[in-house]
Structure 1
Amino acid sequence: MDNTGQRTLAVVTKCDRSPDGLLEKVTTNDVNIGLGYICVRNRINDETYEEARNQEATLFETHPSLSKIDKSMAGIHVLAHRLVEIQSVIISKCLPSIVKKINERLHVSVLDFNKLPRNLTSVSEAMGAFVQIVGSFKETLQKILIRSELDEYEDDKQMHCNARLAEMVDNLSQDLQSSVNFSEHFLVEEMQILEEANGIRLPHFLPHLVFSSLLKRIVNSVSDLPVCFVNNVCGYLEIVCVRALLDCCGSYPQLLPSMKKATQNVTGRMKIKFMERVDEMIEMEKMTDYTCDPQFIPSYDKLMGNRELFLNSLYSSSKTLNMEGYWINVDHLNDVSTNIRDQAFDLKMRMTPYWKIVLKRMVDYLALKMCFFMQQLVNKEIEADIVNEVMVNGGGIEKRLVEPPSVAKKRERLQSSIRLLKESKEIIEQVMDGIVVASD
């Protein structure tokens, strides 16, 4: 509806039947017709269009009243021209927004097309891309694993590898240290070992077997922690390496499967070798009790200095004592024979400083081995494995020339879309130019 009449064009038909007063009506415009009036003569009976137009022209030229109507307001041809003008104005207002939407869609399609992997067309081109990817991948791993450079993944904390690996080492150290506990069941484990190792021998004599048995038991109690550490480290390194490979190889998905397989093979071998070293370390700690740490004897002597305090606490009303910051309950030791109790106390005071040395040695060994294996992986193994997987096991670089079907379909679809959008834009711009010329 056009309540104001601003967009209304009035067409007066059958002018030849009611010509009286028509001139005054169309010139005074009493009802506020915004686009004006056009008077026409209707085709009668079996008149052809040409006959009707000739009769209309004669009418507006010879009729005493109708001939006075301005030529721009009379005739079917004038009506047709005015309708074309009006429609052109309406279309001209819509076309710029249509062109804008086409440009936006075209821009998105071009961006998507440019993001597509390059289509490798020759062996030399594929070889060049392969060498470039391997070099870039190795450089990225050296940055994030060896040199601790963060520029490539500044905002991605998962890829800050040395910080994450240091956290894993710290967590391992804390978990191992938590195994040192004075307060819980004080001397119970030591007394059990002494009872099982009892034999016909001089009293107050502590054989080496007792210390070794206790050491094996304690080492076994924490042996799962280094294994979990290796699993966590190797799992994290595989994630990091594959992520870096995807970033380096994103433009060439043809090369990705073989390179990813090689990367996973290398990290898998590293895990196996690392786990073997961990098993050796655990067995080594169980087999031999040795340290050159000069602090072992002073630490043992310091702990043995608590013996008098320990004996006094057995006869005190509280039945507790503070040793190494731990509050220890000794009520359960009243009925234990003096020989067993004293040997258990001595065994505990020997094991405590030695166990701290063992834990530090474990953490240091695992941290150093981790760094060593990472260096081997990045500098010596991963490049050779990738080349072997692609060139030998993967059937050579020639097989990488075939573009994946999914990528080929997407490339074809985007090319078709870009072509149609460009053609549509050109056609609309030609229409707009035609409207401008017509209005001029």
Structure 2
Amino acid sequence: MILCQLFCKLFLCQGILLIGEFEEYPEENQMHCTTRLVDMLNSYASDLQNCAESDATKDFLMEEIKVLEEAKFIGLPNFMPRTAFLTLLQRKVRGISHMPINFVDTVWDYLQNVVTSVLNRHSANYYQLHVSIRRAAEHLIAKKRKNCIQHVLQAVEMEELTDYTCNPEYLQEYNKSMSHQEAFLKEVLNVNRLKSTVELEGYCMIEVTHLKNYPQVLTQAYDLKARLIAYWRIVLRRLIDVAALHLMLSINELVVVLRGFLSLEESPSISAKREQLSRSVKILRESKETVANIMDRIGAVFVSLVVASAIKV
């Protein structure tokens, strides 16, 4: 009966974690799991999109110029060295590599609190069972946390090693940026320009005074920047999607394993002990009835003797 009750509560836990049910916790916002997960995912996405590595206007083109200066090779001048792109990409990826891990840790800390709260609420009166279930839940959550961290680490490593996407938005964004190249660079190199900033569509005003000393490499640097901006958006989306999808898979697996833990069949030794205990209880009940019958008979005999003695007197 106890296992059945807890089994039902794990269905409640599944509803909280995966479906968003919170009828049992209407006033406890922390138990509204799917909403809190969305909040954490949105915060993670915002952190990625607003971090220093995603700021495309700071020291505009200077990082690209420095890398291009060190990536020179003997060859045709209008070829973009791939090492320059990969070097800048890897710097960016390493700069945000801690953020997916922090997100995973935050989510699993929260999930552990939710699962523990549900189990505590419905098994606290059954100490031995409560201890076993809680220990199993903590072990499973630790295992799932580790798997999630390994998964996002692999995702980060893949982004460092290879620059690839089949998303057509990459070329669309790149071509859009390149369509402004000529006008932007012309204004940057304009000796009669009075302001230290130049407007670039999509980025408002950009400080460009530092660029006047690099006229020979500006065209290539702008091209490299356009590629990075377009591709970086793809990278961030992948890191967000990968973390979210794997997280939901892990939560589902967690619920399935917890449910299976309570639905396991008894081992032969436990089953034998339970049968022996059941027989003992049955014998005790039968003995109780037998003793009660004997006591009734003794009582009847005693009453008869008392009555007989009274008559003789």
TM over 0.5, yes or no? yes
1:243 Cα deviation after fit? 0.5
SS in 1 for 2:103: helix
- Structure 1 CA distance for aligned equivalents of residues 262 and 93 of structure 2: 39
**Shift in CA distance, 396/226, structure 1 to aligned 2, threshold 3 Å:** farther
The question of whether the paired residues in 2 share the 8 Å contact of 1:258 and 1:386 is answered with no
SS in 1 for 2:168: coil
Amino acid at match of 1:164: R
Residue deviations 1:159-185 (CA, integer Å, cap 9, x gap): 000000000110111111113223211
The structure with the largest alpha-carbon Rg is 1
**Aligned match for 1:155, one of 27, 33, 37:** 27
1:172 alignment partner in structure 2: 44
**Aligned match for 1:382, one of 245, 258, 268:** 258
1:182 alignment partner in structure 2: 56
SS in 1 for 2:195: coil
Is 2:129 the counterpart of 1:129? no
Give 1:283-322 correspondences, 5 Å limit. 283-314=157-188, 315=190, 316-322=193-199
1:240 alignment partner in structure 2: 114
Residue deviations 1:373-404 (CA, integer Å, cap 9, x gap): 1111112x12344678x988xx9798xxxxxx
- Structure 1 CA distance for aligned equivalents of residues 32 and 164 of structure 2: 37
1:408 alignment partner in structure 2: none
1:235 Cα deviation after fit? 0.7
The question of whether the paired residues in 2 share the 8 Å contact of 1:310 and 1:321 is answered with yes
The question of whether the paired residues in 1 share the 8 Å contact of 2:25 and 2:31 is answered with yes
SS in 2 for 1:292: coil
1:290 Cα deviation after fit? 1.3
- Structure 1 CA distance for aligned equivalents of residues 187 and 247 of structure 2: 46
The question of whether the paired residues in 2 share the 8 Å contact of 1:144 and 1:162 is answered with yes
**Structure possessing the higher relative contact order (Cα contacts under 8 Å, 6 or more residues apart):** 2
User: Percent identity among equivalent residues?
Assistant: 33
1:40 alignment partner in structure 2: none
The question of whether the paired residues in 2 share the 8 Å contact of 1:309 and 1:321 is answered with no
**Aligned match for 1:328, one of 206, 214, 226:** 206
SS in 1 for 2:72: coil
Amino acid at match of 1:148: G
Is 2:97 the counterpart of 1:223? yes
Give 1:337-356 correspondences, 5 Å limit. 337-338=215-216, 340-356=217-233
1:250 alignment partner in structure 2: 124
Give the unaligned 5+ runs of structure 1.
1-127, 399-440
Residue deviations 1:11-55 (CA, integer Å, cap 9, x gap): xxxxxxxxxxxxxxxxxxxxxxxxxxxxxxxxxxxxxxxxxxxxx
Give 1:43-58 correspondences, 5 Å limit. none
1:142 alignment partner in structure 2: 14
SS in 1 for 2:24: helix
What is the alpha-carbon root mean square deviation over aligned residues?
A: 2.1
Give 1:13-92 correspondences, 5 Å limit. none
1:213 alignment partner in structure 2: 87
Residue deviations 1:342-399 (CA, integer Å, cap 9, x gap): 11110000111111111111111111111111111112x12344678x988xx9798x
- Structure 2 CA distance for aligned equivalents of residues 194 and 251 of structure 1: 68
Give the unaligned 5+ runs of structure 2.
274-313
SS in 1 for 2:58: coil
1:24 alignment partner in structure 2: none
The question of whether the paired residues in 1 share the 8 Å contact of 2:57 and 2:203 is answered with no
Residue deviations 1:235-281 (CA, integer Å, cap 9, x gap): 11111000010011132223211211111001100001101110110
1:284 Cα deviation after fit? 1.0
- Structure 2 CA distance for aligned equivalents of residues 195 and 256 of structure 1: 65
Give the count of matched residue pairs.
Answer: 265
Q: Which has the higher helix share?
A: 2
Is 2:249 the counterpart of 1:372? yes
SS in 2 for 1:317: coil
- Structure 1 CA distance for aligned equivalents of residues 21 and 109 of structure 2: 21
